[in-house]
Amino acid sequence: MTELTRRQRQIFEFLRDNYERFAYPPTLDELCESLGMASRGSLHKHISALIDAGLIEPFSGSKQTGIRLTAQAQRDYAACEHALPYVGKIAAGKPIEALADVHYLPVPALLKSDKPCYVLQVKGDSMKEAGIFDGDWVVIEQRDYARNGEIVVALIDNHEATLKYIEQSPGKVLLIPANSAMTTQIYAPEQVQIQGILVGQMRSYRVH
Catalytic residue among 126, 128, 172, 204: 126
Return phi, psi of residue 38, to 5°: -80, -30
With a CB cutoff of 8 Å and minimum separation 6, the contacts of 46 are 5, 7, 8, 11
Query: Is 164 noted as a catalytic residue in this protein?
Result: yes
Which of 48, 164, 172, 204 does the annotation list as catalytic? 164
Q: Please, which contacts does 164-169 make with residues 24 or more away whose CB atoms are closer than 8 Å?
A: 164/92, 164/126, 164/127, 165/130, 166/194
Q: Which of 131, 135, 126 is nearest to 93 (CA)?
A: 126
Nearest CA among 56, 114, 53, 116 for reference residue 85: 116
Q: Catalytic: 126?
A: yes
Q: Which residues are catalytic?
A: 126, 164
